[in-house]
Amino acid sequence: MKNPVIIFGANAIGRSAKEIFELNEVVVFGFLDENAKLHKTELDEATILGATDDDGFLKLIGKKCEAFVAIDDNKLRKSVVKMLNEVRHVQPVNSVHPKANVSIKAEIGHGNFIDYGSYLAPAVKLGSHCLVHANAVVGAETTVGDFVQIGAGSVINAGVTIEAEAFIGSGVTVVSGVTIGKGARVGAGSVVIAPVKAGDTVFGNPAQIVK
């Protein structure tokens, strides 16, 4: 990637993404963030330029800059991605740590955050706009939908299906072959040994529905 990148979201994920881009020798042009109090200040030696809908900076995207969306709230993340797709006619770029291990036989979409120490095994299919945090393991032949978040240190074993918008907390273990439904949430440290239905929240070892 030759163009500099603008990061949407001056937050922890944005800071991590900035470091990842710089480790990959990509220049970060600056941040855009909804919090007006942050505008024109600096974060890790990069300026928070303005809001996420600031047309003065948005017009650079697709011509002189790339975009990366570092927002963990799925509703806001989806709205920014939609704007970039429909108004700027671009897809956000991936932010992949140089010390992550992505198999050459894995498939990944657009706009994903893949942090330090993560491993995507052969035949993994990772959708777009996912957050894969540090030291997460995604086993062979696992399919991950769009806008999924996988917490730090989680182990997703082989042949798992994680549907769109699911949230997997830190330190979760998901056994082979399980399906986690759309928008489901798995609490930190849980061990998932059975399918999780769409929209359900589960927690514990073994993971049980939280009502």
The residue extents of the domains of the chain are: 5-93, 94-199
Say yes or no to pLDDT of 1 above 80.
no
Q: Say which residues have a Cβ less than 8 Å from residue 57's Cβ, sequence separation at least 6.
A: 6, 30, 32, 49, 50
Assigned token pair, 76: 């806001």
In the predicted model, what is the mean pLDDT of the chain? 96
Q: What is the pTM of this model?
A: 0.95
168 within 8 A of 148, measured Cβ to Cβ: yes
Q: What is the CATH number of domain 94-199?
A: 2.160.10.10
Q: Are strands 201-203 and 208-209 parallel, antiparallel or unpaired?
A: antiparallel
Q: Quick one: how many helices (H) and strands (E) in the chain?
A: 3, 24
Say yes or no to pLDDT of 80 above 90.
yes
The domains spanning 5-93 and 94-199 adopt the same CATH topology: no
Assigned token pair, 24: 């990959």
d(CA 24, CA 201): 37
Say yes or no to pLDDT of 211 above 90.
no
- Residue 14: burial class (beta carbons within 10 Å; 0-12, 13-18, 19+): buried
Say yes or no to pLDDT of 19 above 80.
yes
CATH value of 5-93 in 3.40.190.10, 3.40.50.300, 3.40.50.20, 3.30.450.20: 3.40.50.20
